Amino acid sequence: MGRYTMLVIKPPFNLASAMEKVRMAENAWNSKNPEKIDLAYSEDSNWRNRDSFIRGRKEIIKFLHHKWELELNYHLIKELWIFCDDKIAVRFCYEWHDINGQWYRSYGNENWSFDEQGLMTERYASINDLKKAEKERLFHWPYGQARPISYPSLSDLGL
């Protein structure tokens, strides 16, 4: 995925473009590159992530760097839930471990709004963490890389 790929998918969305936007977001987040990820958001993008309220690209970058200092070996799968003209809702799940080696599976939903350029202006995420044993992990592909196309979706995994 090129550095500006997410920016070319603009609303209004149809099923194919919404699904592509979701997959591109998943791939970007799996890269764990905040300076790449922030390009999908408007300069003044508003976020709520758990109990954090974030505004603008600089805060997004700072937040993501901090997130991945705590959430190690992060692997994410997103799935389209519903969409309309300039909005997309997704459900997602990611696995990670803390510095003590405790594994978690985090489940959540996100609501996204986009401007005419295809930049995300709003992202509201609700997330719950569930402790897991390492042997219960379901997400196994190379760290820092996109989930392979042939890899099961959340629905396929029964999540």
The predicted-structure confidence for 93-113, as pLDDT tens digits, reads as follows 999 999 999 999 999 999 999
In a domain, 143, yes or no: no
| Whole-structure pTM value | 0.93
Which residues neighbour 85 within 8 Å (Cβ) at sequence distance 6 or greater?
A: 11, 12, 13
| pLDDT computed for residue 1 by the predictor | 40
Q: In what order do the strands lie in the sheet with 120-132?
A: 52-55, 41-49, 120-132, 103-114, 87-97, 72-84
**pLDDT band with cut points at 50, 70 and 90 for residue 4:** very low
In a domain, 152, yes or no: no
In a domain, 146, yes or no: no
Alpha-carbon gap, residue 142 to 124, rounded angstroms: 28
In a domain, 142, yes or no: no
Inter-residue contact 103 to 95 (CB < 8 Å): yes
Total domains in the chain come to: 1
| pLDDT computed for residue 12 by the predictor | 98
Using CA of residue 138, residue 36, residue 112, residue 16, what is the dihedral sign? negative
In a domain, 59, yes or no: yes
| pLDDT computed for residue 89 by the predictor | 98
The predicted-structure confidence for 68-101, as pLDDT tens digits, reads as follows 999 999 999 999 999 999 999 999 999 999 999 9
47 φ, ψ (degrees, to nearest 5) = -125, 150
* Element spanning 61, H or E: helix 57-70
CA 103 from chain center: how many Å?
19
CATH number for the domain that contains residue 131: 3.10.450.50
In a domain, 149, yes or no: no
**pLDDT band with cut points at 50, 70 and 90 for residue 16:** very high
| pLDDT computed for residue 8 by the predictor | 75
Its domain, for residue 96, covers: 5-136
**pLDDT band with cut points at 50, 70 and 90 for residue 32:** very high
